[in-house]
Amino acid sequence: MKKFAALLMVLALAAAANATNPVSLGYSDQTVVQGVQGDACAHGTLYMNHDGSFENGYAWQYAGSVAPYYGAFGEGYDLGTGTVWCNALWLSTMSGYYVGQTADVYVWDGGVGGAPGNVLGVVTGVNTGQPGLWPAITQHDVDVNVGVSGPFTVGYWGNWPGALCGWFCAADLDGFGGYPWTNIAPGIGYPTGWNDPSIVWGPTQSMGLGCYFDTGVPANDQTWGSIKALFE
């Protein structure tokens, strides 16, 4: 029994050592995009840079996922001054990946004409619910309630540092295009920081990340000053 247990440990360590940090679901032109899972956003108009269909999905795992948000995905928008009421996440997974992992859901400054910058708002520990099983893709709305006055980026960080990913962010490969981003951890063979996901996974038009936005004033605006302690 001890020998068997030792063998299992060796195999587990070997698997971890050979684990791939960036992963994808693989190309498919037969995806099915399903409606909102859970509570739909109650405010604003939905904006998205994808064409309503997706051909792949991306994720970071193991050394590619490092707190506070290396391994995050984002999509940039410039809608003027107003309120981002919710982020919309289009997600998918495969059997054995999702086991209840959570996400930190963000709004960053910038992301159009330059990389995302400061955190404008974050909701931590979000349970998105079960993503669709590839090639099914599901939409998940998350309340963020953040005021903006220029370009901004919406997205999330999957909370699985050093472990197998829970799900994949849907990717549009042939749409009209947007401002896709991923935040790459140092020391894993790619340029560190915010980069176009195309440098890792190949040509990508936009990520499955949208927002519900209008020109209203947020009821409980989250500023960088109120949340910066999370990152110190």
| 53 to 27, 33, 49, 164, 172: CA distances (angstroms) | 12, 7, 11, 26, 7
pTM check: above 0.85: yes
- 60 part of a folded domain: yes
Parent domain of 103: 21-231
CB 116 within 8 A of CB 157: no
Measured between alpha carbons, how far is residue 80 from residues 46, 57, 106, 178 in Å? Answer: 15, 29, 18, 16
3 in any annotated domain: no
Q: Domain total for the chain?
A: 1
Asked if residue 72 lies in contact with residue 122, where contact means CB atoms within 8 angstroms, the answer is no
Per-residue pLDDT of the chain (232 residues; tens, 9 = 90+): 434 333 333 333 333 434 799 999 999 999 999 999 999 999 999 999 999 999 999 999 999 999 999 999 999 999 999 999 999 999 999 999 999 999 999 999 999 999 999 999 999 999 999 999 999 999 999 999 999 999 999 999 999 999 999 999 999 999 999 999 999 999 999 999 999 999 999 999 999 999 999 986 655 544 433 343 344 3
**Is the residue at 11 inside a domain?**
no
Domain annotation covers residue 6? no
Residue 14 lies in a domain: no
Task: Calculate ∠ Cα 95-46-171, nearest 5°.
Answer: 40
Domain presence at residue 10:
no
180 belongs to a structural domain: yes
Q: Does residue 214 sit within a domain?
A: yes
From residue 214, give the alpha-carbon distance in Å to each of 36, 42, 148: 20, 12, 10
The residue among 45, 73, 16 whose CA lies nearest residue 214 is 45
Phi, psi of 88 (to 5 degrees): -110, 125
Q: What is the pLDDT of residue 97?
A: 98
